[in-house]
Structures are given as C-alpha cells and as structure tokens.
Amino acid sequence: MAEGEDFAFNNFDTIFRQTLKDLGISRAVKSFNIISKIDEPYFIISLKMGKARSAIHISDMAQVDDSPQGVQITITDEEWAPALLTKLWQVYSKERVKQLTRFEITIHGAQASDVASMQLDPGEELKTLLLDAIWRVFPEGFKVRYNIVDDEVMTVVGTEHDMEDAWLETARKVHELTRNAEAE
C-alpha cells in the first residue's frame, strides 16, 4: 500500500513491486507500506519479511576435502551454490576461489576444517537484498535515513533535511502497523 499527495507517489507501490520482482525477492515480502509526505518532507518504506531458510554449515551441503591445490569442494545441494560462491569470495577473495565446474570449487591456501565449519545464513542475505530494494525506491536526495529492523519487519524513514522526532515516531507506528498487517 502506498500513500502520498501527488501522482508520482501513487506509483511507488508499482515501482516497489517491480523492484522486488527484478531482484527475485517478491515472495520474501508478506506486506509493505510506503508513505510519502512531500510538504514535510519525509519518506517511509516498511515491509514485513517472510521466513528465510535456516542457516546451514557448508559441510551439510557440500563435500569438503583437503587437496594439494588447497580445499576441494563438491556441491551436493545445488540450491546453495550461488550463496556458497558469494560467501567464499567474501572470505577468501575471488583470486583464491576457483569454480572449476558447476559443482566443483577449489580454494587455494585454505583448510578443509575451516571451510566445512562455515555457515551460510540466507536470512542475512535476504535482509541485504530487501534493503537494496528499499534504497532503489527512495527518492533522490533523501540521504538522511533511519532504520528500524527486527526479525519480522524492516522500516526505513528518510529525508533530505535533518530528521525530526515526529517522523521517527511516525516510522515506529508504521513499523508496528506493518507487523500486524495481513499478507498481501
């Protein structure tokens, strides 16, 4: 649901839905509220998040072995492959992580025990993508932002001026309203 005073802000609902779709996370949002007050000026997006998969150890989705080249990983659950590769690049760098085939990865200069015990947390990845979607929809120039995030709801209020207490209070109310909203 989007609420605002002029034609442009009546389109935020459509723009936000399309942004979620483009990022492949439409199903991760149960409901959302968008409020735009140009005359004050502030902008709020609040969304209720769906449940992400639970965290998983790399050893539970891949076979991890030491080899002369470093660590050899054979992915046994392909669903985790993109998240695994991203995590390995973050921890070890793209220079050290080589994807040999769709299911095989080598990490130079690493230990199998360290890699096997690492966890992938899709919940954190989902929050990052949702925050990216929110920032893409925010009006240009609204750089002063305040986030309210918990396990269920993510709310961001922004302005191009100094943040006012009244806007923060409105954001907190919208956060609770979104928490209690039914799925769309």
Q: What is the pLDDT of residue 24?
A: 84
Check whether residue 156 and residue 108 sit in a common domain: no
Residue type, 108: H
Q: What is the model's pLDDT at position 88?
A: 94
Note the pLDDT of residue 86: 85
Rounded Cα distance between 16 and 21, Å, is 9
Residues 62 and 109 in one domain: yes
- Sequence-separated (6 or more) residues with CB below 8 Å from residue 178: 31, 32, 33, 46, 47, 48, 153, 155
139 secondary structure, DSSP code: P
Count of structural domains, the chain: 2
**Domain, as residue range, for 100:** 56-120
Pair (13, 94) in one structural domain: no
pTM value is: 0.67
Angle (nearest 5°) at CA 34 between 173 and 36:
95
Q: In this predicted structure, what is the pLDDT of residue 52?
A: 72
CATH code for the domain of 174: 3.30.70
**Tens-binned pLDDT, residue by residue, of the chain (184 aa):** 445 555 555 688 889 999 999 988 888 899 999 998 878 899 999 999 988 777 889 999 999 999 998 999 999 988 788 888 888 999 999 999 999 898 999 999 999 999 999 998 877 778 888 999 999 999 888 999 999 998 899 999 999 999 999 999 999 999 999 999 876 5
pLDDT of 125 reads: 77
Q: Residue 118 has what pLDDT?
A: 93
Element (H, E) at 88: helix 81-92
63 and 116 inside one domain: yes
